Structure 1
Amino acid sequence: MGTSTWTSMLRLELRRLPQHHCPRRSHMSDSSFHLMLEESTRVLYAEYLATPDAVLPNRDALVQAAAARGWSETAFADPAVTLFLNRCHTATEPFRLPVGEVRDGTFSLELDADHVVVLLELHAPQGGKPVRLSEVREAITKRQITYGLKQVTILDALRAGHCKSLVIAEGTPPVPGMSARFVSLLDELKPSSHDEDENALIDYRNLSHLLLVSPGAPLMRRVPAVQGLPGTDVFGHQIPPPPVSDQPFPNNLAGTKIDEEDPNLLRAAIAGVPKLAGDRMTVDPVVSVEAVDLTTGNINFDGSLQVRGDITAGMEVRVTGDIAVRGTIEAAHVEAGGDVKVNGGIIGVQSAAMTEEQDNPSLRIAHIVAGGSIKARFMVSAFVSAGKSISAEREIRQCEVLAGESVVVGRPGSRDGSIIGGKVRALKSIRAGRAGAPSGTPTMIQAGVNPHAAGKLAEVEKSRVRLLEEKSKLDKLMEVLDKRPDVGEQQVERIRGMFSSVVGELFALDSKIKAIQQEMIPTSDARIEIFRGVQAGVTLHYAGHQRTFMEEREGGKAVIEKGHIVLR
């Protein structure tokens, strides 16, 4: 009890007792007071008899009287004892006041949801008896806890007299297995160069080559599932590992076939462009056109596209593979799941001849998005986004550029090429000869943060919400099936398999979310190199720092010195 509680009780008791003048003090035996325990509340009272020859009691007398009853000194509350003893000095009639409480030690056992851990909570006694080892053992036996007991831990806790959430028994959790995985072999098929410029981050001779496969080419390998290991709970019962999915290659994968001697290897059945989507791999024929204009209309298909001329303004192209353009890309909307290679340039400003559409600003911007890399001779007034690298031989002017890996402006091995105006962002590195313009054109350059991370996170969160809804529906469906004995076991197993698959996908998405969030944290591992100099108006974002140059500076590599970005 707190001091305020004891004070309230004492005031209540005092109001009940009549007030008189002080009695005559004289020597007497310990029978001048009694200790009484109220069983219902466990409150300890002291009653002073106030006989004519009573000897005034003291604290030692109270302690000795309590010990005779088997109670320890901790039963007494000091403020209450002081108030009682002081009251004895003025009492002429018997009175009773609370002086403490007598409570035995208590304990409780708690099991986690999986019955793998047992927690002990032990409360010290107050004047009463401590918890005995036999009591704890009796409770453990009653709960049928037999596995993983920590005997020494229990003894140490009883000696200490108290503990909270102490692990006194611990089972063995099951070891999760691994579902069947599908590993793409496409990277092994991509051509590589043996004559690279050691100073260049990108080999321009190999960048954006179309990946074509011949019949029989290996495309994907299936890694069979690995079953988990069972665990043991604190009752000694086996805990089965989480179920794993061992699904085979999906059926009807267009343009592919399973190897005759190796059922876990998928090969190309036809020549064409491979397409990867999760655990699905297909091969599609290559499409080749003279130009993308009003004669062809917009293009949208699964595969790769070769354009011998231009992609003209206002057109839309969406393919899942690569795009190779011999001419230029004007103010068009182009999306590729693979690489985009443009022999000419990407230019979003329309010609003056197109007078009817000049007032529409959206037609003046080229919009290029690629899951792989993008290469062009130059880029002007464009939105350019690549999952990997972006390179321009001459310049990037007034563009918004987002690269999942690097941005390089300039010919291979040279230190020319300019970034003028707009925003250029990349996860790993940005290299150019110059940045900005003498006129002070605002130019932003950022490296070290994945520019695609926010968008990717939003897409993954959407998928997660969809899977959670699907999981909820399957939960309800399994509850219904459990109450329907007429439903076949095969159908029940199919629903359970679907549920396990959804749970596995959710687990994979959670890991992906953590990886994407990590990419949103600025890192100092990235590089910004502006070889020949920066102009006023250029802003660098690097390693969590930002600097806007107010005048022309010599070029170099961005480093952090004394908390500021400098070029060295």
Structure 2
Amino acid sequence: MFKLAHNGNVLLDVSKHPPPSATFVIEAIEMSKFCDCKIDYDAINAFFKDKSTEPVLVVATKHNAKLEVVISDDKMMATGELTVAQGGDLLSLDDAKKQLVKAGIVRGYKQAYLEQLLQKQFTAKAGEVVQGILAQGRLPSDGLATKLVTKVRTLKDHLKTPKLKEDGSVDMRDFGKMASVEPGAVLIRQQPATPGKEGFTVLGDILPAKPGDNKQLVAGEGTEISKLNPLELVSTISGVPIEITNGMRVDDIFTIPDVNVKSGHIDFEGSVIVTRNIDPGMKVTAKGDITIFGTVESGELTAGGNITVKQGVIGHQKSDDKSLSCKLICEGDIHVSHSQYCYIEAANIFIERQTSHCIMKARHALKVGQPDLPKGKIFGGEILDATTLIAGEIGNESGAKMVINLARSGADITAETDECFKELAKTEQQLDSLQPALEKADLLKDPEKKNELISKIGATQLHLCQQAEHYERQLSSLENNLHELLTKANLVVNTVLHSGVEIHIFDKALKTTRNYPPCTIKLMNNKVEVEFKTS
């Protein structure tokens, strides 16, 4: 009844025995060996509707299976859309691979993906479109940063672990035996940064990985990079290990119970540990760290490293010049429990509970309260400078005056910028003045003198040009430094900001005339703005 033509069409001869209806023809095809072919319903229905006189009717078409490869926009995935054969041939594995090559797939291909898709030909209906992943790209894996693994117990670790008493309580003045090392002890072992693993797209494009940040191991005083293993930092002397940025130093330690009239002032090249207290009027100076397990009362501490006072620092206002009797100044960080009537200056200042009537200056951060969410109190006194100030309560209910200065060092940057502009203008003026001299030299008739003078002027021009470039680079650096400082400058209040607090950020000011709930205060749109916390 039906005949397959060379072009894949299924034909029905209607010249001798016209079929009674379209339904009859369709049902006949579905019961024939051409049942999987694509039936042309439109052609069949049109034949009966238009009462065509054509002797042959195309009722169906044979189609081989075909595969279309679709590549995602980001080129990270190739998906196959397989149209199942309709009376035609199944798609072979080799032919399917040719389609992948034609589509440009070169990486991330797995034959198992393709085989799984081709297997669906045996279960899906004729003409059905089935899909499956054919290839997947790989995102780059960034490298790991250098890791510095501490191999010894440091002074900082020691101060975190007070001695446990028999009754289960802790003695906040007894921290047990001091951590110490001998020459040759491994202090830090460096795990180098890794380069990462590059990624790729299915089309073979390379996606570079970001290498991990590389840190150089820093050998502080009393240490050296091991001659046997350049990834290890070892001690060269006996002493107490103290952490520094990306490294460690080992200090000689001077330990004394109390600093009083009997002991006299302390001035030591290494680090000093006072197991009890500093009496009024006494001074301790150390090239390294100063650690006080007790209190400091009207004393003066000066350190090249950090200062840690486990209890409080307490002073008073002198009657003669109104200065404060207690001073703590160091190059590193200061950690105290609480402070009153003290002058405190450091890179960072950390106060556990509260500070009152103190004058403080931090090059970076000043935090009052516990590290996770500082909620300590600040009232009275003045903050001379800091970049970030975080506390719970600032000021007091009486509205007593308090002054806070943030990003005050910006004035120094501005002054340096002005001076740099002056030097640049002076240099450019000198350059301009050389042009007439050069023109005058060019008029000389003596070739030897002419060349000599032009050479000297040229050397001066080169020097001045290099000088001008130096000032321009310096101006750019200063501009960036000021921008970064002002961006970071902010005051964070976690509980309440009282009235009567005068806040200066760089050259702008805000004075509170009421109480504020938790908020952040920073410089925005060239003025001091308050942002209230929503959670």
Q: Bin the TM-score by the shorter chain.
A: 0.3 to 0.5
TM-score, normalised relative to structure 2: 0.44
* Structure richer in strand, relative to its length: 2
